[in-house]
């Protein structure tokens, strides 16, 4: 196998004292935390689109990424070559899982049947590479947002032929994911929303989107694909309003259209920020509904109001994410997919390694911190204690639905609440800091 990253050898754990910028200082894949290996807690994924297909352009200038292996053509040969580069990358960075869109791995050609044929050829190659390396597919998806036909949406397009085309693409992408043993399949509603409500029949568009998802559920059963379906919330960008705005909106949509049994959520950090939430809020909303499936790990920039997809380096944030995940009992089919890209200035292939090393170490620290917070127990005990009045007779009666307003009036008449205990926010923030 030829080497495309000849200046990088496999990234290893060297410990906190290492001065080697291409070594892990915290991510030690085999180290056990709460009785499970770090690599099995974190289940890192590499995003094919950002690693292999993102030229690092911005609205003011073209791409800068150096990709000496890529001849810039739409040939299947070029697409196949990229798969080898990607697998060398995964081997060297020590990431076990990956995610792709159909159009990342194979070109969109002049007709659907040609595009399908090209996809099959690349999937053949990926299957081979997976077999040789043991790498696995975390999830696949269809790109239903880049081509001009999807400018007004895919599953929510006003035009029925576009809807049908997107259904065909979903069918094929599920087949590809199934062939590659994918553990999940994601629906991100790239342009499922509107630029202006003035020309939009929202109710009809939502009905159509639900139809598409129901057909996908049916097809999954038909072909025996057992991977988990995910919906990925995002409030805006590229549209002004996306129907899958946040966890709560997604859950409501899934419930309303009787889809909740078939989907979990894939929460992306930067999308949470765009929705005006913290990522831990989004994760907790999903987890409370038993629907937290996977995470697209990245970070935004507080001073820029778009999906900057930066690599996660903030250990406070990764600690909070890992706390929710540990509380939930960890991932089953999901993982931490780096839906993150390098800055336009970081255009050298080796920057891919620096970026992922940082993200992986940030999450390893988050995992260790979260486990330490849980082992310490003070945070958990505070929360338990704060709600302990609910553990008495009255609380359990209310929680079990065995009281009426009149019962509570009778109670309140002789039990005026006195001065309440402090919420101790600052104390807890200080406690949290002790573990960072």
97 lies in the binding site for ligand XLS (CB under 6 A):
no
232 lies in the binding site for ligand XLS (CB under 6 A):
yes
- Residue that has been written with the tokens 């081979």 in this structure: 128
Question: By C-beta, is 141 or 369 nearer to ligand XLS?
Answer: 141
Give me the residues paired with residue 187 across strands: 231
Query: Closest approach of Cβ 326 to ligand XLS, in Å?
Result: 24
* Residue among 104, 296, 307, 339 flagged as catalytic: 104
Report the site for Ni ion in 317-356 (rule: CB under 5 A).
339
On the 0-12 / 13-18 / 19+ scale of CB atoms within 10 A, 377 is: exposed
Q: Is 104 a catalytic residue?
A: yes
Q: Is 101 a catalytic residue?
A: yes
How would you classify residue 400: left for phi > 0, otherwise alpha for psi between -120 and 50, otherwise beta?
alpha
- Rounded CA-CA distance 420/387 in Å is 12
268 lies in the binding site for Ni ion (CB under 5 A):
yes
- Residue that has been written with the tokens 């409370």 in this structure: 288
Task: Dig out the tokens for 33 from the structure.
Answer: 């935390």
- Rounded CA-CA distance 243/224 in Å is 29
Query: Closest approach of Cβ 206 to ligand XLS, in Å?
Result: 19
Instruction: Give the single-character DSSP code of 330.
Output: -
Over the window 132 to 161, marking each residue x when it contacts ligand XLS by CB under 6 A and - when it does not, the resulting string is ---------x--------------------
* Contacting residue, 104, 205, 246, 296, with ligand XLS by CB under 6 A: 296
Q: How many CB atoms lie within 10 A of CB 15?
A: 11
Query: Closest approach of Cβ 431 to ligand XLS, in Å?
Result: 33
Question: By C-beta, is 235 or 366 nearer to Ni ion?
Answer: 235
Find the helix packing angle between 76-93 and 349-376, rounded to 10°: 40
Contact window for Ni ion (CB under 5 A) among 34-42, 205-213, 261-269, 342-350? 261-269
Q: What DSSP string runs through 202-246?
A: HHHHHHHHHHHHHHHHHHHHHHT--SEEEE-----SSSSEETT-S
Contact window for Ni ion (CB under 5 A) among 91-99, 202-210, 290-298, 400-408? 290-298
268 lies in the binding site for ligand XLS (CB under 6 A):
yes
* Contacting residue, 246, 282, 307, 317, with Ni ion by CB under 5 A: 307
Instruction: Give the single-character DSSP code of 292.
Output: E
* Residue among 26, 101, 271, 356 flagged as catalytic: 101
Find how far residue 271's CA is from the centre of its chain: 10
Question: By C-beta, is 147 or 397 nearer to ligand XLS?
Answer: 147
How would you classify residue 134: left for phi > 0, otherwise alpha for psi between -120 and 50, otherwise beta?
left
Question: By C-beta, is 8 or 154 nearer to ligand XLS?
Answer: 154
Residues that bind ligand XLS (CB under 6 A): 101, 141, 186, 188, 232, 234, 268, 296, 307, 339
Residues that bind Ni ion (CB under 5 A): 268, 296, 307, 339
Q: Which residues are catalytic?
A: 101, 104
């Amino acid at each position: 196998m030829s080497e495309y990253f000849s200046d990088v050898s496999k990234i290893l754990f060297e410990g906190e004292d290492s001065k080697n910028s291409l070594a892990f200082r915290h991510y030690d894949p085999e180290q056990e935390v709460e009785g499970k290996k770090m690599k099995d807690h974190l289940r890192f994924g590499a995003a094919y689109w950002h690693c292999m297909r993102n030229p690092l352009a911005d609205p003011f200038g073209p791409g800068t990424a150096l990709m000496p292996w890529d001849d810039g053509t739409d040939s299947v040969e070029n697409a196949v070559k990229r798969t080898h580069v990607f697998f060398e990358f995964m081997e060297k960075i020590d990431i076990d899982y990956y995610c792709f869109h159909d159009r990342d791995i194979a070109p969109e050609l002049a007709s659907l049947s040609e595009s399908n044929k090209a996809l099959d050829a690349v999937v053949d190659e990926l299957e081979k590479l997976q077999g040789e390396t043991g790498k696995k597919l975390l999830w696949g998806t269809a790109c239903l947002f880049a081509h001009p036909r999807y400018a007004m949406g895919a599953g929510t397009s006003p035009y029925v032929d576009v809807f049908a085309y997107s259904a065909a693409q979903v069918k094929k992408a599920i087949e590809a994911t199934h062939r590659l043993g994918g553990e999940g399949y994601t629906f991100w509603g790239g342009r499922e929303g509107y630029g202006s409500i003035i020309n939009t029949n929202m109710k009809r568009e939502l009905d159509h989107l639900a139809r598409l998802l129901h057909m996908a559920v049916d097809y999954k059963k038909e072909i025996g694909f057992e991977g988990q379906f995910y919906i990925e919330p995002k409030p805006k960008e590229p549209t002004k309003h996306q129907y899958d705005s946040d966890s709560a909106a997604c859950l409501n949509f899934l419930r309303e259209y009787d889809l909740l049994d078939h989907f979990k959520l894939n929460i992306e950090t930067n999308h949470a920020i765009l929705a005006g939430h913290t990522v831990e809020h989004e994760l907790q909303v999903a987890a409370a509904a038993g629907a937290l499936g996977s995470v697209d790990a990245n970070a935004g920039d507080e001073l820029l109001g778009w999906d900057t997809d930066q690599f996660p380096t903030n250990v406070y944030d990764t600690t909070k994410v890992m706390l929710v995940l540990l509380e939930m009992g960890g991932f089953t089919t999901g993982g931490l997919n780096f839906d993150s890209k390098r800055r336009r200035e970081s255009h050298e292939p080796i920057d891919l390694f620096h970026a992922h090393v940082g993200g992986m170490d940030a999450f390893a620290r988050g995992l260790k911190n979260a486990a330490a917070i849980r082992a310490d127990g003070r945070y958990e005990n505070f929360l338990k204690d704060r709600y302990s009045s609910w553990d008495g007779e009255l609380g359990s009666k209310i929680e079990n639905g065995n009281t009426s307003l009149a019962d509570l009036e009778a109670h309140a008449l002789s039990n005026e609440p006195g001065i309440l205990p402090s919420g101790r926010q600052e104390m807890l923030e200080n406690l949290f800091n002790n573990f960072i």
